Amino acid sequence: MNATDWHTRFEQFLWGQDLSQATSLRRKVIHALQLVYALLRDLIEGQLTLRAMSLVYTTLLSLVPLLALSFSVLKAFGVHNQIRPTLLTVLEPLGPKGVEITNQIIGFVENMRVGVLGAVGLALLVYTVVALLHKIESAFNHVWRVQRARRLAQRFSQYLSVLTVGPMLVFAALGVTATLFSHRVVQALANIEPLGSIVAGIGRLVPYLLVIGAFLFVYMFMPNTKVRLRPALAGAVVAGILWQSVGWGFASFVAGSTKYAAIYAGFAIVILAMIWLYLNWLIVLVGASIAFYWQHPENLATHVRDPQLSNRAKERIALQALAAIGARFQRNEPAWTLDGLAQYLHVPLASLGRITDVLVRGGFLAETADDPSCYLPARAFDAVPLKEVLDAIRTAGDETMPGVASTVGEPQVEATLTELDAAIGTSLRARTLRDLVRESPPRT
């Protein structure tokens, strides 16, 4: 039996069996194996590693402007000296080289005087930082199969809000933690067993909890879609544990990397820093993938990130989406978001996004300005013929290739297609979208 046969049999084991009658433990084990398989499939595909490498390059270009902006905010509150300990913690796996890199970065930041940059210089500084966050958002949107990024106004308002409030929250958490563990009561409890062991254990857990909290915030904020708490927490826990564990392993690697220093000389520190940054971003994206698959388990078995739907499937999804949106609107219920609608219809998020874009451009749906946006009927459904909707779905994309719609060929082919189109129009002549909206309560 060759490798292909083993691969086919393993996939059949993961997705080919009926788990409705299986025990709870068996279902959990199978679902865990499906998740691990999907993550390995994404890593082998190469998109996660490619985006992690791209983020390394962007981070190196934008790190000093980002820290300079955060430094200015923190300096206004008198806690700017906390940047150095935080950088030392992040670069700790690099050993003495991490201290050297930290000193150089802090030197660059302190020499950059934001107040004397002028309007153009300050604008470029802000743009560089926003561009970094936009690049990070694009990577997260890729993981979450989100087609559209935030609008330009949203980027500046939300990103700058995070850059203003985020550093304060991080250093406030660090300060509260340090104050708590240095309190007299905690110190007294540490001298009493078994409370001392418990306090020491909690102290060892605090770095993990702080990292997990940071990942949780990133996973819920960065993707341009609604991320639920439990999936984000699952991804944050795995990413936080990986980050700390890989840090220990990388520190051991750096300790024995004298050969690299002999080969690369002064460039060794740069190469090691880039490798550590790459591992960090890869861990972040793996955690985001876990959160995505946790929230959208219907994508676990999808071998293709963006499956190519048949025209029949596109028509079915478009009509189902319009019917579901119209039913909620008629019952005065909260409007559907793209994420919620994809889960309700059990269709891939990316495919549904393209179909709803066609329906919005065709004037059948209206998109709200909420974050995330919701969908409402753009016209009264009893005034929208079904034939008009089907025509919009069938002709979507023709505008990008205008020559296709006027192909010169055999006249009998064109006559047949015209007859087919006329037959569909005759069959659906009296039917509108209103006929698709159910009066009964929706399925759960």
Q: Is 377 helix (H, G, I), strand (E, B) or coil?
A: strand
Distance of alpha carbon 65 from alpha carbon 67, whole angstroms: 6
- CB 278 within 8 Å of CB 53: yes
pLDDT confidence tier of residue 368, bands split at 50, 70 and 90: confident
pLDDT at 287: 94
Could you count the other beta carbons within 10 Å of the beta carbon of residue 68? 20
Strand, helix or coil for residue 306? coil
Helices 3-15 and 24-45 cross at an angle (nearest 10°) of 140
User: What is the structure's pLDDT at 440?
Assistant: 45
Q: What is the pTM of this model?
A: 0.72
Angle, vertex CA 307, rays to CA 31 and CA 4, nearest 5: 60
Is the pLDDT reported for residue 99 higher than 60? yes
pLDDT tens, residue by residue, 189-242: 556 666 556 655 666 667 677 788 888 888 988 888 888 899 999 999 999 888
Chain-centroid distance of CA 179 in Å reads: 34
pLDDT at 296 over 50: yes
The two tokens of residue 225 are 């879609």
Q: Which range in 127-136, 379-388, 430-439 is most confidently predicted, on average pLDDT?
A: 379-388
Q: Quote the tokens at residue 109.
A: 């930041």
Going from N- to C-terminal start, the domains of the chain cover 13-45, 47-299, 311-436
Residue 261 pLDDT greater than 60, yes or no? no
Q: Where are the alpha helices (DSSP H) in 191-266?
A: 195-221, 229-255, 258-264
The predicted structure's pLDDT at residue 254: 66
Decide if pLDDT at 146 tops 70.
Answer: yes
Fold of 311-436: Arc Repressor Mutant, subunit A (1.10.10)
d(CA 338, CA 146): 10
Question: pLDDT by residue (tens digit) across 297-314?
Answer: 877 776 655 667 888 888
